[in-house]
Amino acid sequence: MGKSISSHSITHTKRIAQKIAERCAAQKPGKRAMVIALEGDLGAGKTAFAQGFAKGLGIAEKVLSPTFVIIKSYKIPLYAGQGKHATLPRWSGQAGYKLLYHLDCYRLKSGEDLVSLGWQEILNNPQAIIMLEWADRVKSVLPPRAYWARFSHSREERNARTLALRFPAVFLRDIS
C-alpha cells in the first residue's frame, strides 16, 4: 500500500489529490473519521493538495491554509464521490462522508495541543474526513489507520515535488 509520484506542477498536485478524493468519498464510512496526514517542508504543496482534494469532494468554497484558526470545516455535498475517478460501489448520499476538516498543525507543539482543541470529538465522527498539514507535529495522537502523504522538493527543478503516498491500493490505481 503505497506509491511515489513525481509532480511537475501545482496543477498536477491538485489533480492527483482530486482523483484520490473522489475515491475516498466513494468509500463507505467506517466507525470513526477518515484521517489523511500531510507532511513536508514549507511550500512543499500540502495546501495545494488539500485544495485539489476539496475540489474532488465537490466543495466549491475556496480552501486556504488555516494557519491561524488551525481547524476549518467544509460541508461535503451529498453526491460527492461520483466523479469519473470514483471507485465502485459508490457510496454517497446521507450515509456517506459529510464534513471535511482541514487542519494546519504548524503552530502546535504536540498532540496534546490538538486534544485540547477537541480532537477526540472530531475523530469520533464517522462521517468526517480529516486532512492535517504538518501532521508529523501531532503524530502521537493520530490513529494508526491514518493515510499519509509525504511531500518533498526536488533539488533540481523548482516546480517538481515528490509525493510519497500511503493509501489503500484502490485509491491509487492509475494515478500518476
Residue 124 or 154 with smaller CB distance to ligand ATP: 154
CB atoms within 10 A of CB 32: 16
Residue 9 or 176 with smaller CB distance to ligand ATP: 9
- Going residue by residue from 130 to 159, which x/- string records binding to Mg ion, judged by CB under 5 A? ---x--------------------------
- The footprint of ligand ATP on residues 13-32 (CB under 6 A) is 13
Tell me if 13 sits within 8 A of 163, measured CB to CB: yes
Cell of 66: 488555516
Cα separation, 128 vs 112, in Å, equals: 21
Q: Does 47 bind Mg ion (CB under 5 A)?
A: yes
Residue 149, classed as helix, strand or coil, is: strand
Closest approach of Mg ion to the CB of residue 47, in Å? 3
Q: Does 42 bind ligand ATP (CB under 6 A)?
A: yes
Q: Does 66 bind ligand ATP (CB under 6 A)?
A: no
Q: Does 124 bind ligand ATP (CB under 6 A)?
A: no
Q: Which of 102, 109, 119 is nearest to 48 (CA)?
A: 102
Which of ligand ATP, Mg ion, none interacts with 43 (beta carbon under 5 to 8 A by kind)?
ligand ATP
Q: Does 46 bind ligand ATP (CB under 6 A)?
A: yes
Cα separation, 24 vs 172, in Å, equals: 10
Tell me if 161 sits within 8 A of 10, measured CB to CB: no
**Total H helices, total E strands in the chain:** 5, 7
Phi-psi region of 145 (alpha: psi -120 to 50; beta: other; left: phi over 0): alpha
Residue 43 or 93 with smaller CB distance to ligand ATP: 43
**Stretch of 28-36, 38-46, 68-76, 113-121 lying at the interface with ligand ATP (CB under 6 A):** 38-46
Closest approach of Mg ion to the CB of residue 108, in Å? 14
Binding site for ligand ATP (CB under 6 A): 7-10, 12-13, 40, 42-48, 65, 133, 159, 161
